[in-house]
Amino acid sequence: MSLDHEAIYKAYEGTVVSIDDSLGAFDKDGNKITLEQLKIDTARSKIDTAYTAVKYQRDRSAEYPDWQSQLDYIYHHGVAKWKTDIVQPVKDKYPKP
Protein backbone atom coordinates (compact mmCIF):
# COMPACT_ATOMS: atom_id res chain seq x y z
CA MET A 1 0.00 0.00 0.00
CA SER A 2 1.33 3.43 -0.91
CA LEU A 3 -0.15 6.43 0.88
CA ASP A 4 -0.32 9.99 -0.46
CA HIS A 5 1.98 11.50 2.16
CA GLU A 6 1.73 15.09 0.95
CA ALA A 7 -2.10 15.06 0.96
CA ILE A 8 -2.24 13.34 4.35
CA TYR A 9 0.06 15.91 5.92
CA LYS A 10 -2.08 18.70 4.44
CA ALA A 11 -5.40 17.10 5.45
CA TYR A 12 -4.20 16.42 8.98
CA GLU A 13 -1.98 19.47 9.40
CA GLY A 14 -0.70 19.74 12.96
CA THR A 15 -1.92 16.24 13.82
CA VAL A 16 -0.02 13.74 11.67
CA VAL A 17 3.74 13.80 12.28
CA SER A 18 4.76 10.52 10.66
CA ILE A 19 3.48 8.16 8.00
CA ASP A 20 4.45 4.58 7.30
CA ASP A 21 3.04 3.11 4.08
CA SER A 22 2.48 -0.27 5.68
CA LEU A 23 1.32 0.88 9.14
CA GLY A 24 -0.53 4.17 8.59
CA ALA A 25 -0.31 7.69 10.02
CA PHE A 26 0.66 8.65 13.55
CA ASP A 27 0.48 11.66 15.84
CA LYS A 28 3.32 13.08 17.96
CA ASP A 29 2.67 10.52 20.71
CA GLY A 30 2.81 7.58 18.32
CA ASN A 31 -0.95 7.02 18.32
CA LYS A 32 -2.40 5.74 15.06
CA ILE A 33 -4.74 8.16 13.31
CA THR A 34 -7.72 6.87 11.38
CA LEU A 35 -7.52 8.35 7.91
CA GLU A 36 -10.58 9.49 5.96
CA GLN A 37 -10.17 9.11 2.20
CA LEU A 38 -12.52 12.02 1.44
CA LYS A 39 -10.39 14.34 3.56
CA ILE A 40 -7.23 13.14 1.80
CA ASP A 41 -8.84 13.50 -1.66
CA THR A 42 -9.93 17.06 -0.83
CA ALA A 43 -6.39 17.94 0.28
CA ARG A 44 -4.94 16.36 -2.90
CA SER A 45 -7.32 18.44 -5.00
CA LYS A 46 -6.22 21.65 -3.25
CA ILE A 47 -2.54 20.75 -3.70
CA ASP A 48 -3.06 20.02 -7.41
CA THR A 49 -5.01 23.24 -7.93
CA ALA A 50 -2.29 25.32 -6.24
CA TYR A 51 0.40 23.56 -8.30
CA THR A 52 -1.45 24.19 -11.55
CA ALA A 53 -2.07 27.86 -10.70
CA VAL A 54 1.65 28.62 -10.77
CA LYS A 55 2.62 26.45 -13.74
CA TYR A 56 3.46 29.59 -15.71
CA GLN A 57 6.13 30.43 -13.10
CA ARG A 58 7.82 27.06 -13.52
CA ASP A 59 7.62 27.35 -17.31
CA ARG A 60 9.13 30.85 -17.24
CA SER A 61 11.88 29.78 -14.89
CA ALA A 62 12.91 26.95 -17.20
CA GLU A 63 12.88 29.27 -20.23
CA TYR A 64 15.02 32.12 -18.87
CA PRO A 65 18.79 31.92 -19.42
CA ASP A 66 20.97 31.38 -16.36
CA TRP A 67 21.57 34.47 -14.23
CA GLN A 68 25.19 34.84 -15.35
CA SER A 69 24.12 35.12 -18.99
CA GLN A 70 21.41 37.61 -18.07
CA LEU A 71 23.85 39.79 -16.13
CA ASP A 72 26.27 39.68 -19.06
CA TYR A 73 23.45 40.74 -21.38
CA ILE A 74 22.55 43.62 -19.06
CA TYR A 75 26.22 44.69 -18.92
CA HIS A 76 26.55 44.76 -22.70
CA HIS A 77 23.08 45.97 -23.72
CA GLY A 78 21.50 47.66 -20.68
CA VAL A 79 18.48 46.88 -18.52
CA ALA A 80 15.88 48.25 -20.95
CA LYS A 81 17.16 46.01 -23.78
CA TRP A 82 17.32 43.01 -21.40
CA LYS A 83 13.66 43.57 -20.46
CA THR A 84 12.53 43.75 -24.10
CA ASP A 85 14.81 41.03 -25.52
CA ILE A 86 14.89 38.44 -22.75
CA VAL A 87 12.19 39.02 -20.15
CA GLN A 88 9.19 40.12 -22.22
CA PRO A 89 9.31 37.30 -24.81
CA VAL A 90 9.22 34.72 -22.02
CA LYS A 91 6.37 36.53 -20.26
CA ASP A 92 4.48 36.67 -23.56
CA LYS A 93 5.06 32.96 -24.17
CA TYR A 94 3.91 32.00 -20.63
CA PRO A 95 1.35 34.62 -19.50
CA LYS A 96 -0.20 34.68 -16.06
CA PRO A 97 -3.54 32.88 -16.06
Cβ–Cβ under 8 Å, residues 43 and 16: no
Question: For the whole model, what pTM was predicted?
Answer: 0.70
Three-state DSSP state, 49: helix
> Phi then psi for 66, rounded to 5 degrees?
-65, 160
Structure confidence at residue 97 as a pLDDT band (50, 70, 90): confident
Domain boundaries, the chain: 5-53, 55-93
Structure confidence at residue 1 as a pLDDT band (50, 70, 90): low
Cβ–Cβ under 8 Å, residues 56 and 94: yes
Cα(44)–Cα(72) distance, rounded to whole angstroms?
42
Question: Could you count the other beta carbons within 10 Å of the beta carbon of residue 43?
Answer: 19
pLDDT of res. 61: 97
Cα(1)–Cα(22) distance, rounded to whole angstroms?
6
- Per residue in 6-16, pLDDT tens? 999 999 999 99
